[in-house]
Structures are given as structure tokens and as C-alpha cells.
Amino acid sequence: MKKIILFFIVIVLSITSVFAKINWVTDMQMAKAMALAENKLLVIDFWAIWCGPCSKMDSEFWSTDKVKDFENNMIFLKVDIDTETQLAQKYGVRGIPYVVVADVAENKIWENVGYNGPSSFSEIFNSIPANVESVNKVASPFLKDTDSDVDYINMGKAYTDLAQDIENSELKSKFFNMSNRMYKKARKGDYSDEAELRILLNKAYRGHTKKLMKKVNKIKVTPENKELRNFVINYIQNN
């Protein structure tokens, strides 16, 4: 009788484990196609079969019911660094497990090396936007390697919009940082004034309004930047 009970316990635990596991994708191009079609971000787990902390993370975090729920918001990609060496090099993997949150253009938003328990990952994943259509709409030039200054501006604006709705302070900061990275790339070309104004606006959105007005006033008013410049000034004055 005890053997029968034990048998059923093993079966139940096995079934629970199977259903708790998330559906990993193992091909980057497929993961990007899914992320683009479903307007989701990528979560990339760089691992290796010989990695002890990776196995611990699999059992304590990746295989739990809570992570299964995250599939509604993200596409999960599993990358074996021993077989996908070029991809590991591209992402600058220096230690594993190495977990990255990235967009469909493979811009790294958030990263973590090592595993010290599930709590920090859960906090981040809980705050990841469920829909990143605004980013995907402007991602095409980046996917085709035809991106220009205006594309950097558009991508920066998309990240700013998403950042404002994120509650987790760490992730909010990462989204604003990504926005600024895009604006800084556009700052070198014809959109330099707009890029600079939007960087200052991001600072204002984050509550860093001290001395911003002086920086705004240093930017010469032009027909192209007048509306944005006035918006930035009004926001600073009222916040």
C-alpha cells in the first residue's frame, strides 16, 4: 500500500513539475519573431550543463508556478554558452547564470550575473510591461541595420513612455537609461537639440529638476524645437 501511495506521489510531483516549467525557446531568431508578433520583451538565460548555480536556479526559480505566469508578458530564451558561443560573446557573457532582459532589437535593458535566490528576479519580472508595442513599432530599422538619428529619437520616446508606467524603481531606471542611450546616439546628428531636450525631460520625469532650467535655456530656440522646448520648460516649472 505504501509503495502505491509513493508511486502516485511521484506521478503527481512529476506532472506538477512539467506544467510548472515555462516554454523555453532555444533559437534567437525564433524568439525575436515571437517577441515581435506578441509585443513582448525577451528574457535570455545564458547557462551551461556543468553550471551548479544554473541548476539551482532552474529548480528554485525557473520551474516554479510563479515564473510560468510570467510567460504572459515575456518570451523566454535559453542559451547554452558551450554551443552558442557567438551569441554568448555578443552579449559579453563573463559568468553564468547570466540573465538578460532585452527588446526585439537585442538592446539590453536589464542584466544579472549569478544567482542569489528568486526574490530579485521576481521583483523585476513582475514589473516588466505586458505590452511593448510602442517599442516594436519603431524597431524595424534596427532589425534591418538601417537605423538613423530619427529612429533613435523614436526608440527613445518609446522607452520614455514605458518607463513612466513602471513601478519598480530599478527597472524604471533601466528603461529611462535605455531611452537616454538612444537620445545620445541621435545627439551627434541633425536631431541634437531635440535629443538634448528629451534627455533633460527624462531627468525631469525622474524628479531631477535642479539646474535643469539653465540647461534648457542654453539650447537655442528654433522652429523645429520650440514646441518641445516649451513643453520641457512648463514641466520643470510645474513639478
The catalytic residue positions are 51, 54
Reported in sequence order, the residue ranges of 21-162 that DSSP labels E, i.e. its strands, are 41-47, 74-80, 98-102, 108-113
C-alpha cell at 123: 521583483
C-alpha cell at 5: 501511495
CA distance 87 to 46: 9
CA distance 239 to 214: 16
* Residue 35 CA neighbour count, 13 Å, CB half: 31
The DSSP secondary structure of 115-153, one letter per residue, reads -S-SHHHHHHHHHS-S--HHHHHT-HHHHTT---HHHHH
Closest CA to 229 of 123, 59, 220: 220
Closest CA to 79 of 42, 47, 117, 37: 47
